[in-house]
């Protein structure tokens, strides 16, 4: 489930015990007139931060954002086009002018075309890399403390385990059963820890003691609220706002394994599609996942605006409290007090700061919990500009099926089987998925030897439709969770 327009950032989250003498600073809470951002007009302070942290000129920063917007959209189509042979993709160059799409099938390389696009033939598909990392994840409880981080690295077509004791890491890998030749050890002194203590963005208080900050505004049905880091509080904990006015209650929280939570708020509070930037409010327009190599920025109460790039998306990181899976690794620095803050690429919400290592003086590594997983797990809708349109729905079809999918999984409808038509005509299919995910729909026809895709709906959103006119025969629908998890409804009509 987060691609690429102007870079923004928002409130940071921190947790700390506060004394009565601690008086938090209060940020502006009313939107500045005309604030917001567009693909062509990134916030000036964001461009300045990119210049500082990425070593770019103003023109390069602006060009980079435009290239990331264009090539991010191109990448969505290409990864689905080469399907099972897809091995990852990444942007490179100071202005992100080159998109590399990796494939494990040499024959598929010729189909990777476009301005600024190049193909790279590699040994392992992304599915193979993910399977190796899954093996490490299952063995996480036995991972040595000297190997706190592992991730899928599409640039090197491998799974990397970071450790300051390579021999211990190798033993962990061997015991996990991860594919030989897929996983490698990289020596590193990285020691991730959660970012606690200081305020960030608009503060809120947990049980009148600990303090954190808002990540992104959300709704669940008609209930307003916001998402935050899971290590900020447990389900049932009460919250008050920056002004000590009664605010809400933690409805769900997950940490470790995940690092997300959601808090419902009362009628004193209204969700807005804004995150606080140093120059005013910036509008969130969606949560499309950014490609590796994309520039990304975060805002925190300790270090302010800080930018970097998306390094690896499928990362597992082990803190003293346990392992958190499927976080995203970045080289945007952060320090204690920035915990839980908003990570944004363009106007697209990416996630909430989890933890990291290093600092903003010497440089560091920071991990964030992808926001789309929290949206999907809790059935939340991200608050965005212009409001959120309702799902397309799948009414008016002959047959309807429903179910649920976890990220990366597929199911075949109807009922794990197929249907037969005895006449030629038009087939119509519809998929209605949960907000914040990327679900796809494929119509397949049996050609006598195998199932072949004859129509597909493969946008980057949760809802798809397909139409196909074909001869009599056997047909089925494949519902695929490209990213994100949740319940779906699909419907179809046949000749």
- Active site (catalytic) residues: 231, 259, 339
Could you tell me where the DSSP H helices lie in 17-162?
44-54, 58-82, 126-138
CA dihedral 170, 176, 181, 184 (to 10 degrees): -40
Q: How many CB atoms lie within 10 A of CB 271?
A: 18
User: Residue-wise over 393-420: b if at least 16 C-beta within 10 A, else e?
Assistant: ebeeeeeebeeebebeeebbbeeeebbe
**Long-range CB contact pairs, 446-454, < 8 A, 24+:** 446/418, 446/473, 446/474, 446/475, 451/476, 453/478
Task: Give me the residue label for tokens 């608050």.
Answer: 383
Q: Rounded to 10 degrees, what is the CA torsion of 466, 455, 433, 323? A: -170
Other C-beta atoms lying within 10 Å of the C-beta of residue 170 = 16
DSSP string, 400-425: EEEEEE-TT-EEEETTTS-EEESS-E
SS3 breakdown of the chain: % helix, strand, coil, rounded to 5?
15, 40, 40
Q: State how far the Cα of 287 lies from the Cα of 325, in Å rounded to an integer.
A: 19
Q: What is the sign, positive or negative, of the torsion defined by CA atoms of 111, 115, 117, 119?
A: positive
d(CA 192, CA 44): 32
Cα separation, 480 vs 375, whole angstroms: 18
User: Element (H or E) spanning 376, and its range?
Assistant: helix 371-378
Distance CA 33, CA 283 (A): 12
């Amino acid at each position: 489930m987060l691609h690429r327009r102007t870079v923004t950032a928002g409130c940071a989250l921190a947790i700390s015990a506060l004394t009565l003498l601690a008086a938090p600073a209060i940020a502006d809470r009313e939107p500045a007139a005309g604030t917001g951002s567009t693909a062509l007009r990134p916030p000036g302070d964001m461009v300045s931060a990119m210049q500082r942290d990425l070593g770019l000129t103003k023109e390069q920063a602006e060009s980079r954002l435009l290239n990331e917007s264009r090539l991010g959209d191109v990448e969505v189509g290409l990864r689905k086009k080469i399907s099972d042979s897809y091995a990852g993709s990444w942007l490179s160059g100071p202005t992100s002018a080159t998109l590399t799409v990796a494939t494990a099938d040499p024959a598929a390389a010729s189909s990777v075309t476009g301005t600024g696009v190049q193909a790279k033939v590699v040994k392992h598909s992304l599915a193979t890399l993910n399977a190796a990392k899954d093996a490490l994840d299952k063995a996480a409880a036995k991972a040595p403390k000297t190997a706190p981080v592992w991730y899928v690295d599409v640039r090197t077509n491998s799974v990397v385990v970071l450790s300051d004791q390579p021999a211990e890491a190798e033993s962990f890998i061997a015991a996990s059963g991860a594919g030989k030749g897929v996983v490698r050890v990289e020596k590193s002194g990285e020691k991730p820890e959660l970012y606690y203590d200081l305020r960030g963005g608009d503060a809120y208080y947990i049980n009148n003691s600990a303090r954190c900050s808002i990540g992104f505004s959300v709704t669940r049905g008609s209930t307003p609220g916001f998402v935050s880091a899971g290590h900020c509080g447990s389900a049932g904990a009460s919250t008050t706002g920056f002004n000590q006015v009664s605010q809400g209650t933690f409805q769900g929280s997950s940490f470790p394994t995940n690092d997300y939570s959601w808090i419902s708020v009362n009628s004193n509070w209204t969700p807005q599609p804004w995150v606080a930037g140093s120059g005013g409010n910036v509008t969130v327009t969606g949560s499309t996942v950014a490609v590796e190599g994309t520039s990304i920025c975060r805002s925190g109460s300790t270090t302010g605006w800080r930018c970097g790039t998306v390094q690896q998306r499928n990362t597992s990181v082990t803190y003293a409290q346990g392992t958190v899976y499927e976080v995203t690794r970045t080289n945007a620095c952060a320090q204690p007090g920035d915990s839980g803050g908003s990570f944004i690429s363009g106007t697209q919400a990416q996630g909430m700061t989890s933890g990291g290592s290093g600092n903003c003086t010497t440089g560091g590594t920071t991990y964030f919990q992808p926001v789309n997983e929290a949206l999907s797990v809790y059935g939340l809708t991200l608050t965005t500009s212009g409001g959120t349109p309702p799902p397309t729905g799948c009414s008016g079809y002959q047959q309807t099926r429903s179910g649920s999918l976890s990220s990366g999984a597929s199911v075949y409808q109807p009922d794990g089987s197929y249907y037969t038509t005895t006449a030629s005509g038009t087939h119509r299919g519809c998929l209605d998925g949960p907000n914040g995910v990327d679900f796809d729909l494929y119509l397949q026809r049996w050609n006598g030897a195998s199932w072949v895709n004859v129509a597909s709906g493969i946008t980057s959103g949760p809802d798809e439709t397909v139409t196909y006119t074909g001869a009599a025969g056997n047909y089925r629908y494949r519902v695929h969770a490209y990213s994100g998890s949740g319940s779906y409804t699909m419907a179809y009509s046949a000749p």
